[in-house]
Amino acid sequence: MYLCPGVLCQKSAVKHPPPVLPQIPPCDFKPQPYQVRGLYLRVTYYKKPVFINQGYMQWLWDVDGRRYLDLFAGVATVICCHKQLRRLWHTTAIYVYPQMQEYAEKLACLLPDPLKVVYFTNSGSEANDLAVLMARLYTGNFDVITLRGSYHGGSPQATGLTSNADYKYPIPSSMGCHNTMCPDVFRGLWGGSHCRDSPVQTIRECSCSPGHCQANDMYIRELKEMFATTVPNRIAAFFAEPIQGVGGAVQFPKNYLKDTYQLVREKGGICIADEVQTGFGRTGSHFWGFQGHNVLPDMVTMAKGIANGFPMGAVVTTAEIARSFGKGVHFNTFGGNPLACAVASSVLDTIKEDKMQENSTEVGTYMMTELAKLRDKYEIIGDVRGKGLQIGVEMVKDKASRDPLPPEAMAEIFEDTKDMGVLIGKGGLYGQTFRIKPPMCITKDDADFFLAVFTQAVQNYMERR
C-alpha cells in the first residue's frame, strides 16, 4: 500500500494518549537500604549498570529501591527462588550488587594506583584467560611471552601460557604464546650467591661486584635474543609469577622483572603478574609478590587463597585497559557472586586481624633457615629457596652436577614424609622440588614437627641407598 507524503504528515499530527504501563504485582518484602560510594567495577551488559541490592523469591531490588521481576535468574542459575544470606544468595555479574562492590573496593585498596578496576572469575585459569584477551584487545597485538617452567592454568588458553610438559596434551595449544629462558639462579645456566630476594641464597660461586648481577645480565640477553628471533616487533603481553609455584618456588635475580617490564613495554606489550600463588601475604614481606621486585604491573591475576578454597578468581587492571574491553559484552555467571564475595571479604579481614602476613615472614624465614642447615648436611638437598611461606627444597643426585634426584627417590621421601604425618607437595620440571606452602596460620611448633619429619625421611632414604 502506498501513502502520499501529505497523508503521512496528517497521520503524524494525530496525538495519542501515553500508554498505560503495566503494574508490577505486589510484594510485601522490604529490602534494606544501601548507600553507593565509588564504583570499582566495569559492567558492560547494560548501558547503565543495574546495581542489585537484595533478592527475595522471584524479585530483585536495586540500590534505589526499585523492584524487578527476575526472569533471568542469575543467567539461568537461581532455580528455587532468591534466598537470603543476609541480603542475596546469587545474582550474576551482569549487574552490580553490594557484596561485589564492597569487596572490589576492599581488594582495589590493597593494590597501588592505577590498578583499580576489578573483574571476577571462578578460577586462576579463567582469570589468566581473561587477562590475555584484555591484553590483546588493548594493545592490538597478539603474541604473549611467558617463562619456561611456568604454570598459568589448565584451560585451553592457559595451557599455551604454561611451559611444563606434564600439563600439556597432544593438541594445538600455543595460541600465540611463547616461552623464554627461566632465570633460575640455581639450575639455570647462570646464577650466584647474591642473586635473589630470599633469606637463603644458592651455594653457587659469585664474583659479581656489589649492586650488580651478571646472571641477570645474561638472562636479559636471552630475552632480547628471543625478541630478535621469535616474536613480531610488537607483542601483547608478558606473563610471570613473582615466584614460580608449580615450577618449584623458582626465584629470579632481583632486577630481572624490572628490566623485563621495561623491554616488554618498549615492544608495545603490557606486563601481567600472576599472583595466584604468591598473593595475599604469602611471601610475608609484601601483600603481593610483585612488590618484592619493585615493579608495577599493568594487570594482576589472582585466585586460590583469594577465598580460602571457595571458587573465586579476579583480574585487576587499570581504567585505561578496562575501557578497551568495552568492544564486546563480557559477563560471568558465577564469578564474584554474593556468596563468593562475602567469603573473600572475610578472608581479607582474617589475614589482617590474625596478622597472617607477619606470621608468614616469621615462620617462613625460620623454616627456610633450618632447611638450609639440612642442605649443608645432606648432599641430596641442592637448594632451599623462597619467601615467607612459599618454599621450595630442590633435591639433586649431588651438588656438583645439580642433576635432579630421580622420581623414584623423590617418591620414597615423599611417601615417608606422609606416613610420618606431614603432607607436602612436589613441583619443578622434573618433579625434583618439594613444595611447602602451608596455611598462613602455621606455628613454629608446626614447623619444628615438619623439620623433624623431613629430616628423618631424608635420613631414611640415605640409609637405604
Q: Are residues 47 and 90 in the same domain?
A: yes
pLDDT over 90, % of the chain: 60
Q: Are residues 420 and 378 in the same domain?
A: yes
Q: Are residues 140 and 255 in the same domain?
A: yes
pLDDT digits (tens, 9 = 90+) for 431-454: 999 999 888 888 898 899 899 989
Query: Domain end: 249, 268, 289, which one?
Result: 289
Q: Are residues 60 and 101 in the same domain?
A: yes
Indicate whether 456 belongs to any domain.
yes
Q: Structural domain tally of the chain? A: 3
Domain with residue 380: its CATH number is 3.90.1150.10
Q: What pTM was computed for the model?
A: 0.85
Query: Domain end: 289, 304, 332, which one?
Result: 289
pLDDT digits (tens, 9 = 90+) for 46-104: 567 777 777 776 677 888 888 876 766 564 445 345 665 555 667 777 777 778 888 99
- Indicate the Cα dihedral angle 201, 204, 210, 216, nearest 10°: -90
Indicate whether 20 belongs to any domain.
no
Provide the pLDDT confidence category of residue 5 given band limits of 50, 70 and 90: very low
Q: Are residues 75 and 211 in the same domain?
A: no
Residue 1 has pLDDT above 60, yes or no: no
Domain with residue 275: its CATH number is 3.40.640.10
pLDDT digits (tens, 9 = 90+) for 234-273: 999 999 999 999 999 999 999 999 999 999 999 999 999 9
What pLDDT does 305 receive? 87
Q: Closest Cα to residue 436, out of 396, 399, 370, 385? A: 385
What pLDDT does 62 receive? 81
Cα–Cα distance for residue pair 164/144, rounded to 1 Å: 16
Provide the pLDDT confidence category of residue 11 given band limits of 50, 70 and 90: very low
Residue-number span of the structural domain to which 161 is assigned: 125-289
What pLDDT does 47 receive? 65
Least confident of 15-24, 76-85, 261-270, 331-340: 76-85
Three-state secondary structure readout of the chain: CCCCHHHHHHHHCCCCCCCCCCCCCCCCCCCCCCCCCCCCECCCCCCCCCEEEEEEECEEEECCCCEEECCCHHHHCCCCCECCCCCCCCCCCCCECHHHHHHHHHHHCCCCCCCCEEEEECCHHHHHHHHHHHHHHHHCCCCEEEECCCCCCCCHHHHHHCCCHHHCCCCCCCCCEEEECCCCCCCCCCCCCCCCCCCCCCCCCCCCCCCCCHHHHHHHHHHHHHHHHCCCCCCCEEEECCCCCCCCCCCCCCCHHHHHHHHHHHCCCEEEEECCCCCCCCCCCCCCHHHHHCCCCCEEEECHHHHCCCCCEEEEECHHHHHHHHHCCCCCCCCCCHHHHHHHHHHHHHHHHCCHHHHHHHHHHHHHHHHHHHHHHCCCEEEEEEECCEEEEEEECCCCCCCECCHHHHHHHHHHHHHCCCCCEEECCCCCEEEECCCCCCCHHHHHHHHHHHHHHHHHHHHHC
More confident residue, 346 or 263: 263
C-alpha cell at 402: 645439580
Indicate whether 280 belongs to any domain.
yes
Q: Closest Cα to residue 252, out of 213, 203, 304? A: 213
Q: Are residues 131 and 248 in the same domain?
A: yes
Q: What is the mean pLDDT of residues 410-427?
A: 88
pLDDT over 70, % of the chain: 89
What pLDDT does 83 receive? 60
Q: Are residues 264 and 180 in the same domain?
A: yes
Q: Are residues 344 and 397 in the same domain?
A: no
Q: What is the mean pLDDT of residues 286-291?
A: 97
Q: Are residues 164 and 279 in the same domain?
A: yes
Indicate whether 16 belongs to any domain.
no
pLDDT digits (tens, 9 = 90+) for 181-212: 999 999 999 999 999 999 999 999 988 888 88
Provide the pLDDT confidence category of residue 297 given band limits of 50, 70 and 90: very high
Indicate whether 26 belongs to any domain.
no
Angle at 182 between CA 179 and CA 185, to 5 degrees: 175
Indicate whether 301 belongs to any domain.
no
Q: Are residues 199 and 263 in the same domain?
A: yes
Q: Are residues 275 and 396 in the same domain?
A: no
Q: What is the mean pLDDT of residues 313-341?
A: 88
Q: Determine how many CB atoms are found less than 10 A away from the CB of residue 306.
A: 27
Indicate whether 158 belongs to any domain.
yes
Indicate whether 87 belongs to any domain.
yes
Cα–Cα distance for residue pair 451/412, rounded to 1 Å: 17
Q: Are residues 51 and 153 in the same domain?
A: no
What pLDDT does 51 receive? 79
Query: Domain end: 297, 332, 353, which one?
Result: 353
Distance in angstroms between the alpha carbons of the first and the last residue of the chain: 98
